[in-house]
Structure 1
Amino acid sequence: MASYRVPYSVLCKTFELCENTTKRLEITEYLVSLFVQVIELTPEGLVELLYMCINKLCPDYEGLELGIGESLLMKAIAQSTGRDMKQLKLDYTKCGDLGTVAKNSKSSQRTLFKPKALTVPHVFSTLKDVAQITGQSAQSRKIDKIKGLLVACQENEAKYLIRQLEGKLRIGLAEQTVLSALATSVVLTKDSGKLSKQQKEHDLAIAADTVKSVYNQMPCYDMLVPALLKYPLNQLQEKCTMRPGIPLKPMLAHPTKSLTDVLDRFEGHTFTCEFKYDGERAQIHRLPDGSTMIYSRNSENMSVRYPDVMQKLNKWLKPTTTSFILDCEAVAWDREQKCILPFQVLSTRKRKDVKEEDIKVQVAIFAFDCLYLNGEPLLRKPLQYRREKLREAFTETENEFFYARHMDSNNIEDIQTFLDVSITSNCEGLMVKSYDGEEASYEPSKRSRNWLKVKKDYLGGVGDSMDLVVIGAFYGRGKRTSVYGAFLLACYDPDTEEYQTICKLGTGFSEENLQQLHDSLKDHIIEKPKRFYCLGENPVKPDVWFEPVQVWEVKCADLSVSPRYMAAVGQVDPSKGISLRFPRFIRIRDDKEPEDATSSEQVGSVSF
């Protein structure tokens, strides 16, 4: 059976089942049914299938993306079906889903011969080919590849193929659900069937936790899946461990409103306070062969953005340091004044094709955690141990490399003083962390209460600022007639893959800001809201709609339940969402993708 190749129609039928329900358990069951069949018939095809389910071509750190725009996809649909482009655009305006337009265009098309059925391996390899096409006549070559697939599509395949090419399946298939289904499928295919129902449920829960934990440490299906199929589940942690060159999703902190909250949380526990630096999260990796990489919080390889850091890194290492993974912050740095510069200065630095001799904005690295050192994973070790290892392995270097400044005390006056010092040092505030014991381990991708963040400007207020996506704008009046005067913002729900409206924002902008935002957003105007914009029954309607491309940091005075905004709908009220009161613009978050915006769950968890 090794030659069996999963039909693409089978995958699309599973997608359709998932799209037709909102129940997480049902979606998981559909995936489990599919995965079990694949494991039994063609286990070597499981990795490609998983990538298709999460709509990726490879691990995030490899950086291979389709990046196919709507106009190119419309050309491919028109050319493969013989339809008029003008009519296609009208259909798209009516239904708002290019996948459905492609499906309907195919169903109205008559063919003389039935094409050979598509398979998952063929579609996946073709999508990879499309993503890798560059250079002369790249657009026409991409269209030819896409046309080849579209011509062979049957039933609902064109719908999901176009959505995959767009980069969004929009069927409510979150990666955590895929991981749970993967774990369940492996247990079921290895299970002898003699276990009691209670024991089986226990084993499935343990399996899901194990697979998610291992994936968080080593987010690479190409390595995880073969190990999962080959070894017993209780050996997975040992056989599939973190390593330099594969970035982890960083641990995140919970916001807190007061220093009293900090003391309440850590009462009876040892904790430490560190400066919270206003820069870009960076994870620096060094392999035993000496090669080095720098990754962003989204696992994007940023090595080309920081050639100066790459060149100087060897100066910071002690002779015994051979390999490591370092969690740190890259901040803009004034070498003459020897001080930190604001994030806005760092954001002016080029992101691609950076040459060291052209660099105008210098950076300093502030290291606060060591996750791996000389072949030893340190995630499960307490922060106290990790900090010791960090200081054993590196040397502070003036203007280039520093340890994050810290203070250990449980006296509230000391913490207040240290907070004030952090602000005068051009930092955002403090990170307060568990210091020893089991709670002081490093938890990749989790927003843990073992790390709290305290910022000066929100003590006694709402808490953390929010990172929100711009989905619309209102024409300006008076002085703002030539630009947009206000904007419609949304948070993101990763489970439903929806952008949920949260506020209308019109304050915090300088005239320069407004002109810059107008210029950068005008190329992303769309005729009508996307079908995955959650607007509610009586929505706020902007004058202009945008593609979800920009993330802004926004501060507010309070939150309220609102019938007109849909953020976290169903969490605090069955039909109403949450809105921000008195929001103000802080800055553009160039380091975040729209899917990394504040989630609806985070909005709903903020008490007000």
Structure 2
Amino acid sequence: MQKSITSFFKKKSDAGDSPSPPKKVPKIEAKAELPDEPIIKSEDGSPTIKAKVEPMSVDSGENTSPLKGVKKEQDSEGKTTDRKVTSIGLNSTSASKEDMENYDPSADSYNPLKNAYWKDKKVTPYLALARTFQVIEETKGRLKMIDTLSNFFSSVMLVSPEDLVPSVYLSINQLAPAYEGLELGVAETTLMKAICKATGRNLAHIKSQTHLIGDLGIVAEQSRVSQRMMFQPAPLNVRDVFRKLREIAKISGQSKMDLVYNMFVACRSSEARFFIRSLIGKLRIGIAEQSLLTALAIGLVKKNHIDDCKASKVQEVYKDEIVETTLLLKTAYSQCPNYDVIIPAILKYDIKELQERCPMHPGMPLRPMLAQPTKGVHEVFERFGGMQITCEWKYDGERAQIHLNEKGEISIFSRNSENNTAKYPDLIARSSGLLKGEVKSYIIDSEIVAWDVERKQILPFQVLSTRKRKNVDIEEIKVQVCVYIFDLLYINGTALVTKNLSERRKLLLEHFQEVEGEWKFATALDTNDIDEVQQFLEESIKGNCEGLMVKTLDEEATYEIAKRSRNWLKLKKDYISNVGDSLDLVVIGGYKGKGRRTGTYGGFLLACYDTENEEYQSICKIGTGFTDEDLQTHSEFLGKHVTPSAKSYYRYDSSLEPDHWFEPVQVWEVKCADLSLSPIHRAAIGIVDGERGISLRFPRFIRIRDDKNSENATDANQVAHMYQSQDQVKNNQKSCTQMDMEDEFY
């Protein structure tokens, strides 16, 4: 993390010799008609859209009646009717229209107070947030995107701090912490109907434009901005938009439709685009959670040093403070992933008190600790030489963090912090049998596996994946499960993550007990004998497990929240001899099939995730490992997530251009023969080689990883590590080193 934050400022400094000119934000006079009206230049050189104002009619672009205020419209059966249209127009606000339309949080001279045109009202306009999203969407560099968002956040902190929580949630398109599972669930057709009702356009036109453009948000904005208005509702503000979106998420039926319509009618300019995108669940601005946390930290430092007018100056002078603030904020968020708790704390207390003010507690999932891959027992002992280690069977199931709070409520969370409590009512029903002694609260880390009750053995993951996910009736459960517990993170009000594994394990055995076929401790062996580890690996395979997890017991043995730590190593049974692990990769593109595969995608473009730059880097094209049924399933699913062009955060060579680009919504497990340097793929570029990335040779599809989101995919540093761990690469490096030594000698 330290490296990532420091590199932010290095790149920022490197770019300082040739700053990009400030972005010109289009001025919109009254209401614009797009795209018919010509664009002209204003005195300052910025584009101005010439408006045509006709306050007593609504011109939708088709089927307009000559009668003012009357709209010819077709219903679902094709019948034409006249509908009276209520015309809406601009009203005046305390801020000038020019201030609103020209708000630019990306300006190099941005001042959090002076540029916050809403400072008199102390309520953040939704238009200011929408403008920020618009600028970010049009920005190529991630550092500049973060900088832009930090400027907006710093203004909100100073002028309208109550709006910071909703601003943050809206920036990552969430309505609550991820574990609460609050989702909007508005169908695209419902949104289209709301747009039709508000703008007078017909449904067929909206559908055709959406198909053509590929973005209902853009279609909504164009439809809204071309509408003639006379009276307009009060301007939207961030607080109310967030509250209304939460209402929309909690209701159904006609009431949901009415709320969407009422909000959309009040949208102006780019507000329409991002309001509709929020409802769809695809904001499309490229801000992931780590970028948001960085922007929030930088915004906090800017707010604390408001006397330094230029935001860029703050970043140069207070670089070390920003690095420290970012680290503290991300660390606190790892143990308390809830902005409703975090943000009030950073506004009220010193950042150094954040971890104390936002402690971990049951009911709030932690980001799990993850393991590094290794491909042989010898590599394990190279890493852990001289340390006391333990080996645990690696179970082929679903990672589960199980919580009990002091009210006696059980919660079960996935590795992505998704709330799976409703999926496992059987575990909750038998949870009391797990306890030994007085236990009022706990957080345990475990793996849930499918269990054969008759044979008393573990079943493959594929069996577990058939288990129903929602509205599970305990009487109808067909796939039984057993929980294998391997760590204790919290007990009776005390967090244990800073204690060594040997201490955590001792407390686990003191307070919990096994129940045959229901609750088990992970099968473990404490040893420093290489032959015993090899034999234990073979036993794990016979026990229907994937292999071993090897962990330190006393040295460097704390629980590292949200980290892929080298203090945990995984050793799987079926690694291909030359590669240390399978990879979890994101599908970003599809190639149309030919021959037998006509009508489906025949191949796909996959990418790893670079956590430092928050971008997806191409790593291979894949077309093997699929059944015909797989291809049909993938084509149907991914066909719903086609995007008209590559995302700004996709890194690839133009020669790899697929027929269709996809949103980064699905992760696949993939195996390969080996990894090699590539002149066209961009995975881990700059880590191993300055100009070449890494690609997979002979990749094949294994399965969909439903338990992982795209940001949990194999990252660039892991790819680089896997490449460098290959025997042929190691041998080549040794040969080069030997030659260098000989050259030096002679």
> What's the CA shift for 1:141?
3.8
> What's the CA shift for 1:393?
1.2
- 1:508 is aligned to 2:622: no
Which residue, out of 418, 422, 429, partners 1:304?
A: 422
> What's the CA shift for 1:344?
0.5
Q: Deviations over 1:296-329 (max 9, x none)?
A: 1111221111111111111110122211000000
Q: Deviations over 1:180-236 (max 9, x none)?
A: 232333344446979x99994333322221111111001011111122222222222
Contact persistence 1:498–1:532 (CA under 8 A): no
Identify if the C-alpha distance between structure 1 residues 329 and 31 changes in structure 2 by more than 3 Å, giving closer, same or farther: same
Identify if the C-alpha distance between structure 1 residues 489 and 359 changes in structure 2 by more than 3 Å, giving closer, same or farther: farther
**178-187 or 117-126: bigger deviation:** 178-187
The aligned residue for residue 137 of structure 2 is 19
Amino acid at match of 2:267: C
Which residue, out of 257, 266, 277, partners 1:152?
A: 266
- 1:355 is aligned to 2:469: no
Contact persistence 1:538–1:563 (CA under 8 A): no
Contact persistence 1:7–1:118 (CA under 8 A): yes
Which residue, out of 685, 695, 700, partners 1:584?
A: 700
Which residue, out of 405, 408, 420, partners 2:538?
A: 420
Identify if the C-alpha distance between structure 1 residues 594 and 530 changes in structure 2 by more than 3 Å, giving closer, same or farther: farther
Q: Which runs of 5+ in 2 are unaligned?
A: 1-118, 309-313, 725-746
Q: How does 1:390-469 map to 2 (within 5 A)?
A: 390-437=508-555, 439-458=556-575, 460-469=577-586
> What's the CA shift for 1:527?
9.7
Q: Which has the larger radius of gyration?
A: 2
Q: Which has the higher contact order (CA 8 A, sep 6+)?
A: 1
**107-116 or 494-503: bigger deviation:** 494-503
Q: How does 1:73-472 map to 2 (within 5 A)?
A: 73-134=191-252, 138=253, 140-190=254-304, 200-437=318-555, 439-458=556-575, 460-470=577-587, 471-472=589-590
Equivalent position SS for 2:654: coil
- 1:531 is aligned to 2:627: no
Measured in 1, the distance between the counterparts of 2:210 and 2:543 equals 53
**150-159 or 469-478: bigger deviation:** 469-478
Q: Deviations over 1:106-148 (max 9, x none)?
A: 22222122432110011111211221123xxx2x543332232
Equivalent position SS for 2:268: coil
* Aligned residues with identical type, % of pairs: 48
The aligned residue for residue 522 of structure 1 is 636
Measured in 2, the distance between the counterparts of 1:192 and 1:45 equals 19
> What's the CA shift for 1:10?
1.2
Equivalent position SS for 1:290: coil
Contact persistence 1:28–1:180 (CA under 8 A): yes
Contact persistence 1:93–1:527 (CA under 8 A): no
Identify if the C-alpha distance between structure 1 residues 43 and 259 changes in structure 2 by more than 3 Å, giving closer, same or farther: same
Contact persistence 1:250–1:297 (CA under 8 A): yes
The aligned residue for residue 669 of structure 2 is 553
Identify if the C-alpha distance between structure 1 residues 528 and 282 changes in structure 2 by more than 3 Å, giving closer, same or farther: closer
Contact persistence 1:490–1:567 (CA under 8 A): no
> What's the CA shift for 1:476?
6.5
**522-531 or 147-156: bigger deviation:** 522-531
Amino acid at match of 1:157: E
> What's the CA shift for 1:68?
3.2
Measured in 1, the distance between the counterparts of 2:641 and 2:362 equals 45
Q: Deviations over 1:393-432 (max 9, x none)?
A: 1011111111111222233222222211111111111112
Q: Deviations over 1:368-410 (max 9, x none)?
A: 1111011100111111111111111101111111111122223
Contact persistence 1:245–1:287 (CA under 8 A): yes
Identify if the C-alpha distance between structure 1 residues 259 and 576 changes in structure 2 by more than 3 Å, giving closer, same or farther: same
The aligned residue for residue 491 of structure 1 is 607
Identify if the C-alpha distance between structure 1 residues 606 and 74 changes in structure 2 by more than 3 Å, giving closer, same or farther: farther
The aligned residue for residue 723 of structure 2 is 607
Measured in 2, the distance between the counterparts of 1:19 and 1:485 equals 29
Equivalent position SS for 1:297: coil
Aligned length in residues: 597
Equivalent position SS for 1:49: helix
Identify if the C-alpha distance between structure 1 residues 486 and 560 changes in structure 2 by more than 3 Å, giving closer, same or farther: farther
Q: Deviations over 1:251-305 (max 9, x none)?
A: 1112122323222222343332211110000010001121111111111221111
Contact persistence 1:258–1:460 (CA under 8 A): no
Q: Which runs of 5+ in 1 are unaligned?
A: none
Measured in 2, the distance between the counterparts of 1:171 and 1:529 equals 13
RMSD (CA atoms): 3.1
Equivalent position SS for 1:149: helix
**495-504 or 276-285: bigger deviation:** 495-504
> What's the CA shift for 1:488?
1.1
Which residue, out of 189, 212, 215, partners 1:71?
A: 189
Identify if the C-alpha distance between structure 1 residues 271 and 191 changes in structure 2 by more than 3 Å, giving closer, same or farther: farther
Amino acid at match of 1:448: S
> What's the CA shift for 1:499?
5.8
Q: Deviations over 1:85-104 (max 9, x none)?
A: 44434433443333222222
Identify if the C-alpha distance between structure 1 residues 492 and 4 changes in structure 2 by more than 3 Å, giving closer, same or farther: farther
Identify if the C-alpha distance between structure 1 residues 184 and 549 changes in structure 2 by more than 3 Å, giving closer, same or farther: closer
Amino acid at match of 1:488: F
Amino acid at match of 2:539: V
Contact persistence 1:492–1:595 (CA under 8 A): no
Contact persistence 1:525–1:545 (CA under 8 A): no
Q: Deviations over 1:23-80 (max 9, x none)?
A: 3443333233222222222222211111111210000111001233433333333332
Amino acid at match of 2:394: K
Measured in 2, the distance between the counterparts of 1:93 and 1:577 equals 35
Identify if the C-alpha distance between structure 1 residues 562 and 73 changes in structure 2 by more than 3 Å, giving closer, same or farther: farther
Contact persistence 2:601–2:635 (CA under 8 A): no
Identify if the C-alpha distance between structure 1 residues 197 and 493 changes in structure 2 by more than 3 Å, giving closer, same or farther: closer
Equivalent position SS for 1:272: strand
The aligned residue for residue 50 of structure 2 is none
Measured in 1, the distance between the counterparts of 2:489 and 2:642 equals 46
Identify if the C-alpha distance between structure 1 residues 523 and 269 changes in structure 2 by more than 3 Å, giving closer, same or farther: closer
Contact persistence 1:275–1:406 (CA under 8 A): yes
**206-215 or 363-372: bigger deviation:** 206-215
Contact persistence 1:272–1:433 (CA under 8 A): yes
Amino acid at match of 1:172: G
Equivalent position SS for 1:457: coil
Identify if the C-alpha distance between structure 1 residues 549 and 563 changes in structure 2 by more than 3 Å, giving closer, same or farther: same
**513-522 or 385-394: bigger deviation:** 513-522
Contact persistence 1:273–1:407 (CA under 8 A): yes
Contact persistence 2:607–2:620 (CA under 8 A): no
Amino acid at match of 1:441: T
Amino acid at match of 2:442: F
> What's the CA shift for 1:503?
3.8
Contact persistence 1:540–1:565 (CA under 8 A): no
Amino acid at match of 1:589: R
Measured in 2, the distance between the counterparts of 1:150 and 1:345 equals 45
Identify if the C-alpha distance between structure 1 residues 197 and 505 changes in structure 2 by more than 3 Å, giving closer, same or farther: closer
Amino acid at match of 1:262: V
Measured in 1, the distance between the counterparts of 2:148 and 2:719 equals 30
The aligned residue for residue 22 of structure 2 is none
